[in-house]
Structure 1
């Protein structure tokens, strides 16, 4: 079975990134013939850092946007990051999408932290304060931007659409695709009731932020996706 197994990013300085993702984010680093793989145990995707990049600055007109790290207890993860001196935004419930916070790694790549449960719905025993980010973190999403969702659906026609989320007030909609053989709890993929289920998936979703008709700029830092199987 296919799975989304990695996102390939070309970077200028590998050392600070490896230290940040292992020491702060709790990932495991493995060297390979091309660069370094960093990730969590399980079926979710890895970060694949390749040498030879230049300095990176994120812009909202770029095709590559971010990774999303899903986890059981955002308050716990947020407190750990602040204690480690990491600048991270205050957690908030963003509309009916999710309870989240944002930060950037030492290279400037954006990371979204997304709690499995909406604000107020988290079980009281969620997370383990002795583990990085409260434990059980995974790369839940790799997010790209697009102006033509029909073309993306054609390009990734072997992926299943698990959720479509309209964020009209912000001028975009979100589409979540995966190599999965699961049925969301509610058959309507636009249903809000599916969203907490979605953030608990053990594999990585390919997320598209769709702004109709907009052409987004490629960045040399984004080398593409790795798909296993």
Structure 2
């Protein structure tokens, strides 16, 4: 029986071609058109962005179900320096708690993008990034992040996926749950173990991340058309 794969996130955008070019020219993805939409993605087993026409120029809200994509990479500092040289506004890299070394930006239509280094701040191996390559090389779409007010219902709906990690962010009022179509298991069987996190950021497939805000009443995201699973 074929193994399922999270192969895309479908977004309705204002200008699919222009946005696909941003992801290729700035973030190093490959862009291609077909069937009235554009796809942008990295080589490998991770998911693509499936950009479909018809989007409206509306601001994206924290009360919506769709949040962001996460791009994982070996060298965050090199990636951010490259983006600034291209005139892209990106936040200063920082170690967020015991979760990861990260930075944030938005694409030209306002969609959130998280850049997440494979290793924690201060733990990056020497020579991890290559300034000659886009984002320092080795980038992949690590996460597609949705919000939910009922994680138990989400897990029940996705019983065919493997829960790889749970991360508490109590001071911000949420926790994070990471699922994937995989038979892999984390090095530490404790899904809350901090030591599993760099392992998680290095997975070669895209993980479905839920930001769980208990009891939250979230709105549908006008731009989010669903996940592509093949």
Q: TM-score range, shorter-chain basis?
A: over 0.9
* Equivalent residue, structure 1, for 2:101: 99
* Equivalent residue, structure 2, for 1:84: 86
Q: CA deviation at 1:22?
A: 0.8
* Equivalent residue, structure 1, for 2:159: 157
C-alpha distance in 2, partners of 1:113/1:105? Answer: 12
C-alpha distance in 2, partners of 1:110/1:98? Answer: 17
Alignment partner of 2:116 out of 109, 114, 117: 114
Which string of whole-angstrom CA distances, capped at 9 and with x for unpartnered residues, describes residues 83-114 of structure 1? Answer: 00000000000000000000000010000000
Q: Normalising by structure 1, report the TM-score.
A: 0.98
User: Contact 2:104–2:114 at 8 Å: present in 1 too?
Assistant: yes
C-alpha distance in 1, partners of 2:195/2:20? Answer: 37
User: Contact 2:179–2:208 at 8 Å: present in 1 too?
Assistant: yes
Q: CA deviation at 1:142?
A: 0.1
Which string of whole-angstrom CA distances, capped at 9 and with x for unpartnered residues, describes residues 138-194 of structure 1? Answer: 000000000000000011110000000011011100000000111100001010010
C-alpha distance in 2, partners of 1:47/1:178? Answer: 17
- RMSD over equivalenced CA pairs, Å: 0.7
C-alpha distance in 2, partners of 1:79/1:16? Answer: 23
C-alpha distance in 2, partners of 1:15/1:226? Answer: 19
Runs of 4+ in structure 1 off by over 6 angstroms are none
Q: Normalising by structure 2, report the TM-score.
A: 0.98
Q: Structure 2: give runs of 5+ residues left out of the alignment.
A: none
Q: CA deviation at 1:34?
A: 3.4
- Equivalenced residues, count: 228
Q: CA deviation at 1:56?
A: 3.3
Q: Structure 1: give runs of 5+ residues left out of the alignment.
A: none
Q: CA deviation at 1:55?
A: 0.9
Summarize the Cα distance change of 1:34–1:154 in structure 2 as closer, same or farther, 3 Å threshold: farther
* Equivalent residue, structure 2, for 1:70: 72
* Equivalent residue, structure 1, for 2:8: 6
Q: CA deviation at 1:15?
A: 3.4
**Secondary structure at 1:196's aligned position in 2?**
helix
Whether 1:206 aligns to 2:173 is no
Alignment partner of 1:130 out of 126, 129, 132: 132
* Equivalent residue, structure 2, for 1:41: 43
C-alpha distance in 1, partners of 2:34/2:101? Answer: 35
C-alpha distance in 2, partners of 1:48/1:129? Answer: 28
Q: CA deviation at 1:51?
A: 0.5
C-alpha distance in 2, partners of 1:165/1:186? Answer: 14
